[in-house]
Amino acid sequence: MRSLILVACLATVAVVLQGCGGGGGGSPSTKCMHDKIDMVSQTATGTLTGTVAISQAKPMPIDDGTIVEKVDFEKFNMRSDVSMTISVPPVGVAMLAQVRTIFNAEKKEGVVWQKVSMKGVTMKTNCTKYDLTGKMPSNLTNIWKTLVLPTVQNLASCGGSDGKLDTWNLHIDQTLPPSMMSAAVNMDDTMKMDSNYLMTSNKVKGSMTMKVGTTTVSEGVDLDMEVASTAGGPKAEDLDYSDETVWGVCHEGKLPTPPGQMTKLFHPVDSSEASLIVDKVINAGLFPQMVLSAIQAHQESQHKEVVV
């Protein structure tokens, strides 16, 4: 099952390639400290609350959620740590889900570690690493700056400022072409940033409808992240997963073929109910969206050039 947030990444990519529609950009009606939104290297630490809905099931609450996101938009590295308690249907048993993800552009690799436990007993744990050689460009930072960031800046509109924090609204309402994935996505992302573009909160609300064979699948998220951010992205130790006492043995994973192959990068490897819920949340952060959008934009543009 694909994450709504990652499908939203593809929607952003679709806007990049088509050069049209899908956002709430244009002339802002209110004043912000900056004329445009920007994304800078930073470390955001805070709490995560909200609900996740899978298919027609009742929205499931997320409790005791914590999140740490570290991103470097120059070297294009990222580290994310998420922990949350979820009540998994049908019995509603509370499970603790923990996920760590690493994206290392220099080494061309991605890593996903997942652990699910109940009442202090580990139900499953897994670490998967992906070799991204040949699947991502060497000039990823340039692609981000010239393709994806300008699109995000065009889509985002100023929602006002109190002189200390700017509010930025990003709206995506896009139907993806079959070359990517047949799906319709509607997402609103509201961010608050200080004068240095350091994030203090990120609220995401969205829905997705897609066809799986003859079945229509719908999903939704309503997430609220409150964070404190400092300048600077992940350090070398944040990108190191060699300690098996912390990560376990990380097995080689294989990404599926296009379309949208990079959208599987940060997914849990199994399809259990708990993992499906985790899947909707671990990529809800703005920074994983931007990292994946940049990679996928390159892949789709290359594919478009070949097709044309």
Q: Which amino acid is at 159?
A: G
* pLDDT for res 7: 38
* pLDDT for res 27: 45
Q: How confident is the model over 264-292, as pLDDT tens digits?
A: 566 555 555 555 555 555 555 556 666 66
Q: Compute the average pLDDT of residues 132-149.
A: 80
Q: Compute the average pLDDT of residues 71-100.
A: 84
Confidence of residue 257 (pLDDT cuts 50, 70, 90): low
Integer Cα distance of 294 and 4 in angstroms: 17
Q: Which range, of 32-36, 38-42, 119-123, averages the lowest pLDDT?
A: 119-123
Please give the backbone phi and psi of residue 292, each rounded to the nearest 5 degrees, phi first: -70, -35
The reply to whether omega before 256 is within 30° of 0 (cis) is no
* pLDDT for res 292: 66
Q: How confident is the model over 214-226, as pLDDT tens digits?
A: 667 777 778 888 9
Confidence of residue 14 (pLDDT cuts 50, 70, 90): very low
Identify which of 230, 223, 153, 156 has the alpha carbon closest to the alpha carbon of residue 194: 230
With 60 as the cut, is the pLDDT of residue 11 above it? Answer: no
pTM to 2 decimal places: 0.80
For residue 8, the surrounding DSSP H or E stretch is helix 4-18
Pick 229 or 114 by higher pLDDT: 229
* pLDDT for res 1: 35
The percent of residues in the chain predicted with pLDDT above 90, rounded, is 27
Mention every residue, 6+ apart, whose C-beta is less than 8 A from residue 212.
none
Q: Compute the average pLDDT of residues 80-103.
A: 82
Confidence of residue 138 (pLDDT cuts 50, 70, 90): confident
With 60 as the cut, is the pLDDT of residue 30 above it? Answer: yes
Cβ atoms 270, 278 nearer than 8 A: no
User: Which sequence spans correspond to the domains of the chain?
Assistant: 4-307
Q: Which amino acid is at 299?
A: Q
* pLDDT for res 104: 92
Question: Strands (DSSP E) along 154-213, which ranges?
Answer: 156-161, 166-176, 183-193, 199-212
With 70 as the cut, is the pLDDT of residue 175 above it? Answer: no
* pLDDT for res 200: 95
* pLDDT for res 210: 67
* pLDDT for res 194: 97
Q: Compute the average pLDDT of residues 287-301.
A: 62
Pick 256 or 82 by higher pLDDT: 82
